[in-house]
Amino acid sequence: MRKNTYYILAINPGSTSTKAAVFANHEQIAGSTIRYSPEDLAGYDSILAQREYRTHGILDMLAEHEIAMDSLDAIVGRGGLLKPIDSGTYSINEKMIEDLISDYAAVHASALGGLIAADLGGKLNIPAYVVDPVVVDEMEPCAKMTGIPEIKRNCIFHALNTKAIARRCAAQLEIKYEDSRFIVAHMGGGITVSAHRYGRVIDVNNALSGEGPFTPERSGAVPLEPIIELCFSGEYDKSGMMAKVNKEGGLKAYFGTNDMVKVEQMVKEGDEYAALVLDSMAYQVSKEIGAMFAVLEGRVTAIILTGGLAYSTRFTGAIKQRVDQIASVYTFPGEDEMSALAEGALRVLRSEEQPVIYK
């Protein structure tokens, strides 16, 4: 017999914090963001070495909110840099654990989400899952080709929030996500614009590798010849160039800050150059949406704007002005990855989906 209420612990580790929350079905009933100072983490020589320390913080949160461990039905963690996989809710198995502790995956704290979920799930004898990690790859073969045979496009994007928001928009429109054709722009420190066709993301820009629009801190796509010149100028080494593209680009390169609110304040105070840069960033997002319109063969159910930058009505308004004749535009500001994790586990617990086996 199916239960009426399932209690799910969601775990989302970042580089300097761990978000942990307990959900009763869709409703969050407890949670906190556990933050770490540089001194807190200084004694650990790797991300993996923090595993037990971060687990204790989660257990303390549960005790503080008087959540009994034996009341939990499942634990779900943020997936790390696994191998490319289809979207879905994955049961954590030995193969996944082996990949999460690999040198490649263990460079990012998200690996701890799956590992801690597996540890606690094993102790409680309840299911442990990960949902839509950043390596979800459903791209069409032609979307991966480049003009250099040694290089192919890789799929890394905001899969968890993007898919969850697309499902939410579909429900609002009273249709199934799997019956829809969406363009979703997730706009934060990185910006990814994805084409969703009947439940699969068939194309998306990889913001980590320099594709797509420039962002508050990333360069986005730039002409290659000047980049090559910079690489051989002697002014930058490899790490310096990577930082220029991934951490020091975009708004930060123009204004010394990646804070959208500060740049918008500059615009309000009459800074015409700041207005030009912000409008150019919106222009590039719109241009990427237009590209995904072509990917979807000109048939789009809706365009969705989400992520932290979607709180800016000026920014979203500039995008809507260019794309709202393609399809209706819906705005879902911010990201709600904790709910997305819990909802993925809940669909499996309710037998609305089958858990996927990681191979």
| Statement: 159-333 belongs to CATH 3.30.420.40 | yes
List C-alpha distances in Å: 224 to 10, 256, 342: 41, 24, 42
Cα gap 359→353, rounded to integer Å: 18
Is residue 63 within 8 Å of residue 32, measured between CB atoms?
no
Question: From the centroid of its chain, how far is CA 29?
Answer: 23
Cα gap 247→30, rounded to integer Å: 33
For residue range 44-94, what is the model confidence (pLDDT) as tens digits? 988 899 999 999 999 999 999 999 999 999 999 998 889 999 999 999 999
Work out the pLDDT band at 347, boundaries 50, 70, 90: very high
- At residue 249, does pLDDT exceed 70? yes
The superfamily (CATH) of domain 7-133+337-357 is ATPase, nucleotide binding domain (3.30.420.40)
Cα gap 328→189, rounded to integer Å: 25
Is residue 10 within 8 Å of residue 29, measured between CB atoms?
no
- At residue 2, does pLDDT exceed 80? no
How high is the pLDDT of residue 215?
Answer: 96
For residue range 169-225, what is the model confidence (pLDDT) as tens digits? 999 999 999 999 999 999 998 999 999 999 999 999 998 889 999 999 999 999 999
Nearest to 185 by CA among 307, 284, 296, 321: 307
HSE, CB side, 13 Å, CA atoms: give it for residue 181: 13
Number of Cβ within 10 Å of residue 308's Cβ equals 15
Write phi, then psi, for 156 (nearest 5 degrees): -135, 120
Cα gap 185→303, rounded to integer Å: 8
- At residue 226, does pLDDT exceed 90? yes
Write phi, then psi, for 351 (nearest 5 degrees): 65, 25
Report which residue type is found at 205. N
Rounded to the nearest 10°, the torsion over CA 108, 111, 112, 117 is 160
For residue range 306-342, what is the model confidence (pLDDT) as tens digits? 999 999 999 999 999 999 999 999 999 998 899 999 9
Is residue 174 within 8 Å of residue 144, measured between CB atoms?
no
The pTM of this model reads: 0.88
Structure tokens at 308: 């932290």
How high is the pLDDT of residue 142?
Answer: 96
Q: Which residue has the higher pLDDT, 128 or 107?
A: 128
How high is the pLDDT of residue 1?
Answer: 55
On the question of a common fold for 7-133+337-357 and 159-333, the answer reads yes
How high is the pLDDT of residue 105?
Answer: 80
How high is the pLDDT of residue 245?
Answer: 93
Contacts of 219-225 spanning 24+ positions with Cβ under 8 A: 219/244, 219/245, 219/246, 219/249, 219/250, 219/253, 220/191, 220/249, 220/250, 220/284
